[in-house]
Amino acid sequence: MKIALVGATGLVGSVMLQVLEERGFGNCELIPAASSRSVGKTIKFAGRELAVVSVEDAIAQRPALAIFSAGSGASLQYAPKFAEQGTYVIDNSSAWRYEKHIPLVVPEINGDVISENDHIIANPNCSTIQMVMALAPLHKAYKIKRLVISTYQSVSGTGVKALNQLFSERADKECEMAYPYRIDLNLLPHGGTFEDNGYTTEEMKLVKETRKILRDDSIRVTATVVRVPVTGGHSEAVNAEFEKDYELKDVVRLLQEMPGVVVLDNPAENKYPMPYFAKDKDEVFVGRIRRDESQEKTLNLWVVADNLRKGAATNAIQIAQLICAKGWVK
């Protein structure tokens, strides 16, 4: 089977290569593609060295799957060209997420929304994926009315330039700035770009994507996104108000039963999720599970995951696995 990876030389692309191999795609005919400045470079995959080609060349090879991690511009330009010839496109950018006819998928939650005719499938934002993994079973049981979210997002979510900024500042070296201010020994209440309503694009992704994935436009959502000097792993403080009341023991049980979620919650032994321990893992870790004592039927959760794994690469490859399992590609 031919698989194109568009954006193969980027930070998420490198993790996608790793996850593809881990999840049984090591024997595929991989077509690494990237922008013109990367064409001719080589990448390593499953013990082989492969030359990076242009996206046009990748389209010409008519792959069964095309996984995109190259930004919205590239996705808008090239994803339809792959799709027109029958390729299934899994896109990691924000280009297609809000389109009504494009499935926005977390396989453990709503993989059933993909049909054989859906040749562009959107991968949600990293912070959304980990949060809905924890919330989906609770929404099914108690129905969420309102979410108040504060995120503490790793610089790796911005890319290599941001990582370079962090480590350069830590070493007291000059560097190209990914952010308007220093990030080391600091935090920025700023993720993405500011919109007219005063919220950032990262905050509005949490609003719109959560409703679409959970299939409930009635959920009220407000969010504040904060970038923190952490190299890998996003953390979220989530306050969820439900229509029905709950017992904490049942909440814990539902989370424990959710595939891909690990409950790590023992305050007496200082056990709770942290990005340091979530790094390089596919699971979503949930802890600090407690009732909001200021308001009835309301719960507090602390949710942590590796934003490059389940938040991006792993979720995309899981979508690829789902498509293959349905027998639509060979």
Distances (CA, A) of 133 to 96, 276, 310: 21, 20, 10
Name residues whose C-beta falls within 8 Å of residue 318's C-beta, 6 or more positions apart in sequence: 23, 107
Other C-beta atoms closer than 10 Å to the C-beta of 84 total 10
End-to-end CA distance of the chain: 6
Other C-beta atoms closer than 10 Å to the C-beta of 324 total 17
Secondary structure percentages of the chain, helix, strand, coil, to 5: 35, 25, 40
Task: Give the C-alpha separation, 210 to 128, whole Å.
Answer: 6
Query: CA nearest 186: which of 222, 214, 227?
Result: 227
Cβ proximity of 61 and 82 under 8 Å: no
Known catalytic residues are 126, 234
Query: CA nearest 120: which of 74, 85, 87, 153?
Result: 87
Output the furthest CA–CA distance in the chain (Å, rounded).
60
Cβ proximity of 295 and 87 under 8 Å: no
User: Which residue is listed with tokens 């830590």?
Assistant: 170
User: Which residue is listed with tokens 């950032």?
Assistant: 200
Helix segments in 272-313, DSSP class H: 275-278
- Output Rg (C-alpha) for the chain, integer angstroms: 20
Collapsing DSSP states into helix, strand and coil, what is residue 84?
helix
